[in-house]
Structure 1
Amino acid sequence: MKQEKALVVFSGGQDSTTCLFWAKKQFAEVEVVTFNYNQRHKLEIEVAQQIAKEQNVNHHLLDMSLLSQLAPSALTRDDIEIEEQEGELPSTFVEGRNLLFLSFAGVLAKQIGAKHIVTGVCETDFSGYPDCRDIFIKSMNVTLNLSMDHGFVIHTPLMWLDKKETWELADTLDALDYVRHNTLTCYNGIIADGCGECPACKLRKNGLDLYLQEKKERAI
């Protein structure tokens, strides 16, 4: 039997779209929320809106543009290069992003009567982002509940999955082709398989290739 209502933190990328399909299987009613934080590509918001429309879920768009002023990064500024250096956080890390996103998602969730919040953070393929760690999510869950005296449950279906396993989950949800062809993960703003060169595209492609090869071998 499906549980109550859920709110999915939704960017229109591979991970959050997989979480959307997961949530639709788990919960009686699902809505999504996208944050406009002056991200590098406004197309991300358009993709999120289009997927929400196609999947027949109510879409909320919240203005978080202050985040780009507080925490400039390669995801919010065209003049910052996308770089990864050994021992340092990638230039794509946005300080406090998931802290703020989950805080505002919690406020919205309470207003729409949703007990469950779903987010696609992952500690397996997470580039070292501290706000993607399981310990942070557990702490945030407690903080939200105490701050609003409400019994929220934050779900992280991808927390312990690598990208290969995330593609496998999408496949078990009958959503692999949809996720592959309709989502935007690329840091250079190219839908579907992306540019193939940025860190996000390489991670996504490597996972897909591994999963499709494994699936092919199982079928033999």
Structure 2
Amino acid sequence: MKKAVILLSGGLDSTTCMSVAHKEGYELYPISFNYGQRHKRELESAKAVASFYKVKEHRIFTIDYVGGSALTDSSISVPAYQEKPGIPVTYVPARNILFLSYALGYAEVLGAEAIFIGVSSIDYSGYPDCRPQFIEAFQKVVQVGTKAGVEGKPISIKTPLINLTKGETVKLAIANGAPLHLTTSCYNGGEKACGICDSCILRLKGFEEARVKDPIPYENH
């Protein structure tokens, strides 16, 4: 069976990616990261999603981040959602570069054909490592920097959500039977989602657009 590594955070997007890979017939090898994020609760959601799909192995890697983001530095507050240009303080420096690098090494070891990552360039927070240009550049790294690439069988970086709105992502997840009730997206990582951070607002927008009730509880909604 063909194999795929899935970057699984435990959120809406990564869980939808997992459902896409599952529907496409891949054997699933999700990986998650403990990188000092304040919303570590997402790791429990990732474990629950992995268990739902009865995966053969779910690996959690630890990365010692040095801060530089509201998600990894407790001295920087997670702001409420604001529509304004620029890269927000919740951007984690080079996060997807690191995550994809781990995924790529693991995929080579497994002999996997693909890596799934839930980036979107439509409804997102403005992070530079979620754009199509970044994915295209990393695919070139795969081609020239790995044994699989040099031998003419490069591992494919799959981004099934890249051109979808959050509403379209929700609809895709539901169509695939993804366990959205097990997911969490809140940057604050409380027992209930805060309902006011970027991630919560974008998620709520998606469910409203899809005309479906979000199955997780919120402090403010």
- Shorter-chain TM-score tier: 0.7 to 0.9
The residue number in structure 2 matching 1:197 is 196
CA contact (8 A) 1:6 1:27 kept: no
The residue number in structure 1 matching 2:218 is none
Provide the C-alpha distance between the structure 2 equivalents of 1:64 and 1:115, rounded to a whole number of angstroms: 25
Do residues 147 (structure 1) and 150 (structure 2) align? no
Q: Report how far residue 103 of structure 1 moved.
A: 0.9
Equivalent residue runs for 1:102-141 within 5 Å:
102-141=100-139
Do residues 78 (structure 1) and 82 (structure 2) align? no
CA contact (8 A) 1:73 1:92 kept: yes
Provide the C-alpha distance between the structure 1 equivalents of 2:176 and 2:49, rounded to a whole number of angstroms: 16
The residue number in structure 2 matching 1:168 is 171
CA contact (8 A) 1:184 1:190 kept: no
Equivalent residue runs for 1:82-97 within 5 Å:
82-83=78-79, 84=82, 86-97=84-95
User: Any gaps of 5 or more consecutive residues in structure 2?
Assistant: 149-153, 213-221
The residue number in structure 2 matching 1:217 is none
CA contact (8 A) 2:48 2:182 kept: no
The residue number in structure 2 matching 1:14 is 12
1:122-177 deviation digits (Å, cap 9, x = unpaired): 111122111101111011011022111311100000000111110111121123xx
For 1:75, the aligned partner's letter is L
TM-score when normalising by structure 1: 0.87
Query: Equivalent residue of 1:34, what SS?
Result: strand
Q: Which has the higher contact order (CA 8 A, sep 6+)?
A: 2
Query: Equivalent residue of 2:123, what SS?
Result: coil
Provide the C-alpha distance between the structure 1 equivalents of 2:103 and 2:122, rounded to a whole number of angstroms: 23
Query: Equivalent residue of 1:27, what SS?
Result: coil
CA contact (8 A) 1:11 1:45 kept: yes
Provide the C-alpha distance between the structure 2 equivalents of 1:100 and 1:37, rounded to a whole number of angstroms: 11
The residue number in structure 2 matching 1:183 is 183
CA contact (8 A) 2:10 2:45 kept: yes
1:86-126 deviation digits (Å, cap 9, x = unpaired): 33211100110011111111001111121200000111112
Provide the C-alpha distance between the structure 2 equivalents of 1:162 and 1:190, rounded to a whole number of angstroms: 26
Q: Report how far residue 200 of structure 1 moved.
A: 1.0
TM-score when normalising by structure 2: 0.87
Provide the C-alpha distance between the structure 2 equivalents of 1:93 and 1:141, rounded to a whole number of angstroms: 22
Provide the C-alpha distance between the structure 2 equivalents of 1:208 and 1:23, rounded to a whole number of angstroms: 22
For 1:169, the aligned partner's letter is L
User: Any gaps of 5 or more consecutive residues in structure 1?
Assistant: 214-220
Query: Equivalent residue of 2:26, what SS?
Result: strand
Aligned alpha-carbon RMSD (Å): 1.7
